[in-house]
Structure 1
Amino acid sequence: MRDRIGATRNPVTSVDPEFSLPTADDPISLAGPPPIRVMIVNYNGGTDLARCVEALLAQTMPDFEAVIVDNGSIDGSLDGLPADPRVTVLRMGKNLGFAAGNNQAAAGAATPWLVMLNPDAFPAPDWLELLLDEAALHGDCVAFGSTQVMSADPGKADGLGDCFSPYGFAWRGGCRKPLPVPVPAGESFAACAAAMMIRRDWFEKLGGFDERFFCYGEDVDLCFRLRLAGGRIWQSNRARVAHVGSATSGGAHSSFSLYHGYRNQIWVIAKNMPGPILPVTIFTYLPLLLLRCLLLKRPGMIWVVLKATFDGLTGLAPFWADRAELQKTRVGAFRIARVLSWSPMALIKRRAKLV
């Protein structure tokens, strides 16, 4: 159901195998539609959603359109949202998940850029303006991450670029650590989809988010596929958002978050990790997983992680099947290896890595 426009859009479909990926050098025309479509996927976002939309409407770069996909919220979070002709609300009637919700929001877009924004993320007034400025400065990059600070404690980072280790674990760089001065900028492995900008043509040709993930890890998977196809990602130290984090899923350490995070990272590895690096992952992942289980503060969560691991492994077959096509056309393994976080201490300390 659409609040402002007629028919419901179809989701992003899979990649046409005969359609080659665009290159970073392909020109983008800014004539016609606005440069940006902002996509917000809401599920019982409470008052955070209204705060998010208010911050969006206060942007110094007003030339954008926004699509809010509501995944069957029952908390009244859509009530009383600021009225604005740039904003369309799509009511799905059920919880499609973050991945499918964003694909619905992206479908039919004509804007050169797509921007994901979580309903619990509150952008600074110049956020969109600075993201576009980063795109102009770093034309060889096709996706951009934002500096995320903790909403409850802006002196601490919520994420300074998503990291991935050859040992199979992903994390938001610098999460919950004091915000460094100056905040670093550079090329990151991945951009966190809580506040991420990507070229629409790349998003579409990559097939959008993998909806089998439902939520958690789908942004790492998308960025991994982007890198396998030769794309680069820039982490901005200027475009900023304040982020609550996992506000609609019970918190970062809820059983829901842990389950989907640990299950999905197995699927990310199976699909994407280049063959020359994969043996390192295979021989280190399970020992490190067991170690992380022992360090969990709530013993009951160990069973959640073990269940997630079991389901990830037993559900591996279709992702392994996808691997053949991805690896057949990927860039050299060294280009992936250079942006992975090889230091075990980086994994333990959740350090950011920018190159």
Structure 2
Amino acid sequence: MIVVMAPEGLENRHRMDEPAPEDKTQAPGLSVCVIAYNSGPTLRACLASLAAQTFTDFETLVIDNASPDAGDAAIAAEFPGVRLVRNQANLGFAGAGNQAARLARGRWFVLLNPDADADPDWLAELVAASRRHPGVKAFTSRQLMADQPGVLDGLGDVMSGYGIPYRGGYLGPDPGDTAEGEVFSPCGAAMMIDRALFLDLGGFDEQFFCYGEDVDLGYRLQLAGEPTVVVPRAVVRHVGSASSGGRKSEFAVFHGTRNRFWVVAKDTPALLLPLVVPLHLAAVVYISLRRPNRPHAGLVWRAFLAAMKGLPQVMRSRARVQKGRRVSAWRIARAMTWDPRDLTGRRPVIRPLRPTPPGGA
């Protein structure tokens, strides 16, 4: 196992010590990154599932994101060939993901959550999909609930016209091996993207820290005319929010609420803003007033204030993103769902594949 010690402090995140570059002619086809933070036993199951993959032309990077518990590094040491990076500061999922992309050597950059374990043919199915669709540069998986194999955790991420993203089919019945198609965004828990494209787009937005950075990336893929394809045969089993205390933890609610607003403000084309922003605010109020969510109403308000505080930086990012937009606002609107029943029922939205030239959109 190769161990890299990253310097302390966020200001050093782009100047990390790392092993001498290996012969690029021997670079693997894929670089699989696992970002760990107090992941415990789920990390062992995750790495064991990678060790059992039928497709073997890949490297595994584990980013220990300054876990207070030393157990994550010890678990990574159990698996020969794993490249372990031990951060001295928590860079969040976004910062650690970007760090991994810079350290990776494969053409394809693959993310797998430490609380997810993959079927043995997971990588093989993603690679096969990339060969079937040579013009597509982003793929996402079929995610099942780890403790309920017949229940979906997600089948691609969906963006609603309310500016509320969700995992398609979450907690619904697993439809099995359905047809491949385009979804709005990959889910960061189990995705594959062309690494050069990821870096060209600026990677994850590190202002987000955690939650929503994958949807923001997916939105920027949409704006660039780069489709994301869901591969139902590529299956992982996901615990979900194991490192952050669960979906209803204060951490998850705060960052999820704040970052959803930032996605709307940053990525929505100008022609759609007058419609999406009021719908988004109305949806947040409605969701907050529902009986199960009322205990978090104050937290949601604090998240909104934090979103306003960070808005100037978001708007600077918006200017760059919108300047590079390659598709019409109408095309973005068609990639979203405007049916409120999709949002309330968390229904998957998978559209037929559009012809894409081999070089991309």
* TM-score past 0.5 threshold: yes
Q: Which runs of 5+ in 1 are unaligned?
A: 14-29
- Residue in 1 aligned with 2:73? 78
Which of 344, 349, 354 is equivalent to 2:345?
Answer: 349
Q: CA deviation at 1:207?
A: 1.1
3-state DSSP class of the match of 1:213? coil
Task: Indicate the RMSD between aligned Cα atoms, in angstroms.
Answer: 1.9
Q: Following the alignment from structure 2 to structure 1, what is the Cα–Cα distance between the partners of residues 53 and 286? A: 45
Q: Which residue of 2 aligns with 1:62?
A: 56
CA shift, 1:339, in A, is 1.3
Tell me the SS of whatever aligns to 1:155.
strand
- Listed one character per residue, the Cα deviations across residues 208-250 of structure 1 (whole Å, up to 9, x for unaligned) are 1111101000000111112211211001110000000000111
Could you tell which deviates more after superposition, 314-323 or 233-242?
A: 314-323
C-alpha distance 11-233 of structure 1, shift in aligned 2 (>3 A): farther
Matched with 2:354 is none
* Amino acid across the alignment from 1:68: V
- 1:138 deviates by 1.3
Matching of residue 52 in structure 1 with residue 46 in structure 2: yes
CA shift, 1:84, in A, is 4.1
TM (norm. structure 1) is 0.90
Query: How many equivalent pairs are there?
Result: 337
Structure-to-structure mapping, 1:218-233, within 5 angstroms: 218-233=213-228
CA contact under 8 A between 1:190 and 1:220: conserved in structure 2?
yes
CA separation of 1:298 and 1:278: change in aligned 2, threshold 3 A: closer
SS of the counterpart of 2:218?
Answer: helix
Which SS does the other structure have where 2:34 is aligned? strand
Using the aligned pairs only, state the percent identity.
43
Tell whether 2:214 aligns with 1:204. no
Q: State the match for 2:163 in structure 1.
A: 168
Q: How does 1:257-296 map to 2 (within 5 A)?
A: 257-296=252-291
Q: Identify which of 305, 309, 319 aligns with 2:304.
A: 309
Letter in 1 for 2:95: A
Helix, strand or coil for the counterpart of 1:34? coil
Q: Hey, what's the Cα distance between the residues in 2 that align with 1:257 and 1:148?
A: 19
Unaligned runs of 5+ in 2: 16-23, 352-361
Partner Cα distance (1:186, 1:229) in 2: 18
Distance verdict in 2 for CA 1:6–1:324, change over 3 Å: closer
1:98 matched residue in structure 2:
93
Identify the residue that residue 136 of structure 1 maps to in structure 2. Answer: 131
Pairwise mapping of residues 147-166 of structure 1 onto structure 2 (< 5 A)? 147-166=142-161
Give the conservation status (yes or no) of the 8 Å contact 1:35–1:113: yes
- Per the TM alignment, residue 255 of structure 1 is displaced from its structure 2 partner at its CA by 1.1
Shift of 1:11: 5.0
Amino acid at match of 1:161: G
Offset at residue 178 of structure 1 (A)? 1.1
Match of 2:359 in 1: none
- Name the structure where helix makes up a greater proportion of residues: 2
User: Is contact 1:12–1:207 with CA below 8 Å preserved after alignment?
Assistant: no
